[in-house]
Amino acid sequence: MKRFIFLAFLVCGAMASLTEKQQQHMHSIHTMCVSEIGVSEDVIDKARSGDFVQDAKLKCFMKCYFDKIGVVSENV
C-alpha cells in the first residue's frame, strides 16, 4: 500500500506539468478505471487529500490506473 501511496503522489505531481491533451488522456483513464472498478469518487477524493481508507475498490482502482498509464505491469 505504501508503494501505491508513493505512486499516487508521484502521478499527482506529474499531472501539474502535463499538456492539456495529456491531462485529458489521464482523465479518460481515470473515468475508465472508475467505471471498471466501481469505486466511489468520494473515496478517490479522500485518497488525493491523503486520507487513504482501507477500501478494496480503491486499491483495485489504483492498480487499474497505474497499469493503464504504464507505471506498473499487470503481473504486480
Which of 49, 42, 23 is CA-nearest to residue 61?
42
Residue with cell 486520507: 51
- Whole-structure pTM value: 0.71
Q: State the Cα–Cα distance between residues 62 and 24, nearest whole angstrom.
A: 18
The C-alpha cell at 61 is 482502482
- Checking if the pLDDT of 7 tops 60, the result is no
- Checking if the pLDDT of 63 tops 70, the result is yes
